[in-house]
């Protein structure tokens, strides 16, 4: 978990030293984000009047915020402090359901799902969709992803493995074009199928985001993808 966002409001003198040097005074709001980014906002405009992005060090004490990063230095001193506090901070994302482990809400941002309260985190493929169904075993939302077939499985890999599901469907399902081997399902970053006779045969293809709908003339399957119909072998020109 992050140690939160710290804020201070007050009539302050802000001194910035670095690429430009500037001193400003006024009633401002200072925000120190969990990544040590410091933002000083005044009443005008929407941009901060001073800031330091992901500072190496930040200290907040007794109405003073000091941040430094290499040659850059930012100090905000409150002559009159209106208030200061530390608040919880989490990743904001699209709500996808209640957390089964705590009263929090699960949100999806980028390629993972996190709980706003307990911080539980589940990675998921960027092309996965979450449609409101829940895992019968653990209560987490399920994700739907296309890897040769449409597969609906638990967000938690330890509860239900996407890789195992894809193996059940497609391990040894297709022949290698270059030898008599079978193509095995494996993971090298993404899911792919590779010849069982590796390293003698280095035939391998990444599994596209799509559903197998038939056979290509070359013997490999054809996939219906968002980009259209294509052979498992992306270099194969014998498309249907």
175-194 residues near Zn ion, rule: CB under 5 A: 176, 178-179, 181
Q: Which helix (H) or strand (E) holds 85?
A: strand 72-87
For residue 196, the minimal CB distance to Zn ion (Å) is 7
- Does residue 153 touch Zn ion according to CB under 5 A? no
Q: Which two tokens stand for residue 180?
A: 């008599």
Which residue, 39, 23, 40, 32, is CA-closest to 58? 32
**Using CB under 5 A, which of 49, 130, 159, 211 touches Zn ion?**
159
Report the C-alpha gap between 196 and 182 in whole angstroms.
Answer: 6
Number of Cβ atoms within 10 Å of the Cβ of 111: 11
Which residue, 42, 27, 31, 36, is CA-closest to 56? 36
Binding mask 110-129 for Zn ion (x = CB under 5 A): -----x-xx-----------
- Does residue 135 touch Zn ion according to CB under 5 A? yes
**Using CB under 5 A, which of 105, 218, 224, 230 touches Zn ion?**
218
Longest Cα separation, the chain: 80
**Using CB under 5 A, which of 104, 125, 175, 204 touches Zn ion?**
104
- Does residue 63 touch Zn ion according to CB under 5 A? no
- Tally the C-alpha atoms within 13 A of residue 175's C-alpha that lie toward its C-beta: 9
Q: Which residues bind Zn ion (CB under 5 A)?
A: 99, 101-102, 104, 115, 117-118, 135, 137-138, 140, 154, 159, 176, 178-179, 181, 195, 197, 201, 203, 216, 218, 220, 231, 236, 238
């Amino acid at each position: 978990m992050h140690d939160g966002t710290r804020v201070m409001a007050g009539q302050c003198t802000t001194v910035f030293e670095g690429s430009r040097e500037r001193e400003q005074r006024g009633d401002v709001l200072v925000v120190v984000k969990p990544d040590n980014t410091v933002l000083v906002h005044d009443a005008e405009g929407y941009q901060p009047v001073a800031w330091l992005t992901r500072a190496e060090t930040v200290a907040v004490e007794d109405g003073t915020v000091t941040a430094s990063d290499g040659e850059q230095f930012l100090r905000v001193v409150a002559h009159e402090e209106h208030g200061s506090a530390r608040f919880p901070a989490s990743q904001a994302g699209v709500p996808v359901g209640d957390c089964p482990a705590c009263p929090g809400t699960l949100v999806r941002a980028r390629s993972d799902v996190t709980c706003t309260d307990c911080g539980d985190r589940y990675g998921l493929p960027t092309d996965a969709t979450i449609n409101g169904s829940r895992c019968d075993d653990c209560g987490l939302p399920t994700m739907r992803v296309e890897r040769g077939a449409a597969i609906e499985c638990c967000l938690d890999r330890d509860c239900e493995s996407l890789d195992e599901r894809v193996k059940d469907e497609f391990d040894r399902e297709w022949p290698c074009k270059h030898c008599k081997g079978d193509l095995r399902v494996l993971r090298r970053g993404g899911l792919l199928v590779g010849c069982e006779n590796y390293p003698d045969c280095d035939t391998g293809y990444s599994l596209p985001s799509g559903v197998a709908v038939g056979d290509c003339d070359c013997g490999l399957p054809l996939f219906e993808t968002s980009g259209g119909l294509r052979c498992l072998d992306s270099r194969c020109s014998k498309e249907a």
